[in-house]
């Protein structure tokens, strides 16, 4: 696996790969790799001739007071994992390389960026969309792989790719879970032993929503109130940011299941102690 730090070098490597006619798969990450990321690499490896991963802890998607400073950094360990899974190139630019002095251009995906997590993390998706666009421009992949755990991010990236006529295919990969069902996340490392045990409550509530809908409850507001209450009653849950039902394609809010609906997204964000966790499930009707 070759490590690349400079944009100019990355572009020249990509040009050579393109000349050889290789299909390029790209896995963007912020590092602290877990099985969810490794699954993205495996998928890219199956579908493409060459896999490029990026590890860039993007400061612009963290708000003031968020966890940028303590976000787990494990570049050497990450490289070993990536290499073992068959990553061919690791793009690992510094902050100045991605945001040189004088940087002024931002990407805003209107509407989708201010709902759900965007309500509680203003500016977050502007930072995500901007860095993803820059990375897609540098790496120019055929396919780019995103985990469904960050469902809103995936929808926003798809929208941006469509609106800007980018020639990349966005492939989404199912959330990888721990044995008890907790969605894998780099932030799970922040949880204490007791918090970790209780954190699965988020997934449990999403599954309860699934059961209630499948059993015929159509009033989503009623389900939401009940499950938000369930979460709030748990002594390890400090705050529930949202528990929402949404259209899986447009993220439009849904208060009722309508005849003709095929799928509903249930998504939630809650604080387990000082750690903000997100999760979602697609409910098939």
Q: Contact residues for ligand PAF (CB under 6 A)?
A: 28-30, 58, 61, 128, 131-132, 150, 153
- CA nearest 118: which of 150, 71, 159, 70? 150
Provide the terminal-to-terminal Cα distance of the chain, rounded to the nearest Å: 44
Alpha-carbon gap, residue 5 to 18, rounded angstroms: 20
28 vs 248, which CB is nearer to ligand PAF? 28
- Residue 25 or 212: the one with the smaller Cβ distance to ligand PAF is 25
What lies within 8 Å, CB to CB, of 124 at 6+ separation is 61, 62, 63, 113, 117, 118
The C-alpha atoms of residue 24 and residue 82 are separated, in whole angstroms, by 16
Q: Which is nearer to ligand PAF, 117 or 257 (CB)?
A: 117
Give just the sign of the alpha carbon dihedral 68, 69, 73, 75. positive
Whole-angstrom distance, CA of residue 23 vs CA of residue 259: 42
Q: Residue for token digits 């901007």?
A: 130
Rounded distance, CA 266 to CA 285, Å?
13
CB of 169 to ligand PAF, least distance (A): 16
Provide the minimum distance between the beta carbon of 129 and ligand PAF in the complex, in angstroms, as a whole number: 9
Q: How far is the CB of 228 from ligand PAF (least distance, A)?
A: 26
* 113 vs 153, beta carbon nearer ligand PAF: 153
Which sign does the torsion angle of CA 31, 32, 33, 36 carry? negative
Closest listed residue to residue 133, CA positions, set 166, 172, 99: 166
37 is catalytic: yes
Annotated catalytic residue within 34, 37, 92, 124: 37
Which strands form 275-284's sheet, in the order they lie side by side? 237-246, 263-272, 275-284
Name the minimum Å distance from CB 102 to ligand PAF: 21
Least distance from ligand PAF to the Cβ atom of residue 132, Å: 6
Task: Name the residue nearer to ligand PAF (CB basis): 59 or 111.
Answer: 59
Residues with a catalytic annotation lie at 37
């Amino acid at each position: 696996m070759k490590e690349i730090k400079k944009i100019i070098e990355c572009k020249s490597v990509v040009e050579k790969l393109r000349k050889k006619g290789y299909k390029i798969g790209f896995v963007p990450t912020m590092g602290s790799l877990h099985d969810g990321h490794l699954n993205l690499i495996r998928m890219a490896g199956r579908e493409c001739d060459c896999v490029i991963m990026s590890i860039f802890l993007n400061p612009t998607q963290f708000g003031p007071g968020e966890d940028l400073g303590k976000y787990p950094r494990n570049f050497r360990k990450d490289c070993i994992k990536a290499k073992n899974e068959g990553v061919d190139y690791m793009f690992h630019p510094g902050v100045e390389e991605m945001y040189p002095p004088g940087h002024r251009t931002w990407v805003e995906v209107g509407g989708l960026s201010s709902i759900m997590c965007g309500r509680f993390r203003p500016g977050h998706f502007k930072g995500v969309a901007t860095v993803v666009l820059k990375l897609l421009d540098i790496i120019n992949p055929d396919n780019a792989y995103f985990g469904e755990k960050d469902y809103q991010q995936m929808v926003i990236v798809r929208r941006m790719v469509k609106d800007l006529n980018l020639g990349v295919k966005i492939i989404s990969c199912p959330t990888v879970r721990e044995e008890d069902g907790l969605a894998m996340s780099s932030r799970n490392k922040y949880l204490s032993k007791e918090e970790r045990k209780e954190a699965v409550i988020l997934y449990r509530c999403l599954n309860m929503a699934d059961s209630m809908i499948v059993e015929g409850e159509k009033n989503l507001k009623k389900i939401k109130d009940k499950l938000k209450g369930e979460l709030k009653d748990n002594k390890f849950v400090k705050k529930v940011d949202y528990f929402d039902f949404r259209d899986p394609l447009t993220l439009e809010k849904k208060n009722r299941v309508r005849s003709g609906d095929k799928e509903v997204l249930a998504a939630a964000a809650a604080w387990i102690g000082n750690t903000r966790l997100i999760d979602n499930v697609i409910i098939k009707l």
